[in-house]
């Protein structure tokens, strides 16, 4: 049992797992920010442009097939709102990743290139490595 716990600790503390956990938490917070952007800024402007249509209020009611049963309400406006949230989140993440990649490329371009070694240096390095193997 202790071995299992030790292995789990090693797995959980590995860099990739911790990075992923941090990414999930930041992603959730980022999702809330973008959802607020869509709900509080984009949608009011969009409803003003489209004649004050509230997407979440869009529904379709299907009459009940049986007498006395409640009609079925399909709230497709909520679906449209969720799709709009997704598009905004995906586009925002795209912009963040694009900016990060641009910064990464600038750093790589600014980093000095590895000095080229001459043929003599390569040969001397080979000889040194062979001598180390023999000893």
Q: How far apart are CA 77 and CA 73, in angstroms?
A: 11
Spell out where the chain has E strands.
60-62, 72-74
Higher-scoring residue by pLDDT: 112, 105: 105
CB atoms within 10 A of CB 81: 19
For position 44, what pLDDT does the model report?
Answer: 82
Q: Are 53 and 47 in contact (CB under 8 A)?
A: yes
For position 74, what pLDDT does the model report?
Answer: 94
Q: How far apart are CA 83 and CA 112, in angstroms?
A: 45
pLDDT digits (tens, 9 = 90+) for 10-59: 877 777 777 888 888 988 888 888 788 877 888 788 778 877 777 788 89
Residue 60 binned pLDDT confidence (cut-offs 50, 70, 90):
very high
For position 113, what pLDDT does the model report?
Answer: 67
Residue 116 binned pLDDT confidence (cut-offs 50, 70, 90):
confident
Q: How many domains does the chain have?
A: 1
For position 62, what pLDDT does the model report?
Answer: 92
Q: How far apart are CA 70 and CA 29, in angstroms?
A: 38
pLDDT digits (tens, 9 = 90+) for 71-102: 999 999 989 888 887 887 788 788 888 998 99
- CA-closest candidate to residue 70, choices 82, 80, 78, 62: 62
The CATH number of the domain where 87 resides is what?
A: 1.10.1200.120
The model carries a pTM of 0.54
* pLDDT of 64 higher than 70: yes
Domain span holding position 6 = 2-134
CA distances to 64, 65, 85, 106 from 74, rounded to whole Å, are 13, 15, 19, 50
């Amino acid at each position: 049992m202790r071995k299992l716990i030790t292995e789990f600790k090693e797995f959980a503390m590995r860099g990739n797992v911790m990075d992923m956990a941090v990414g999930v938490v930041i992603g959730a917070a980022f999702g809330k920010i973008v959802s607020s952007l869509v709900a509080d800024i984009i949608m009011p402007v969009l409803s003003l442009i489209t004649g004050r249509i509230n997407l979440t209020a869009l529904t379709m009611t299907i009459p009940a097939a049986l007498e006395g049963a409640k009609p079925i309400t399909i709230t497709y406006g909520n679906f449209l709102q969720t799709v709009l949230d997704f598009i905004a989140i995906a586009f925002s993440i795209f912009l963040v990743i694009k900016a990060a990649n641009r910064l990464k490329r600038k750093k790589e371009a600014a980093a000095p290139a590895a000095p080229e070694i001459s043929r003599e240096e390569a040969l001397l390095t080979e000889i040194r490595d062979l001598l180390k193997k023999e000893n």
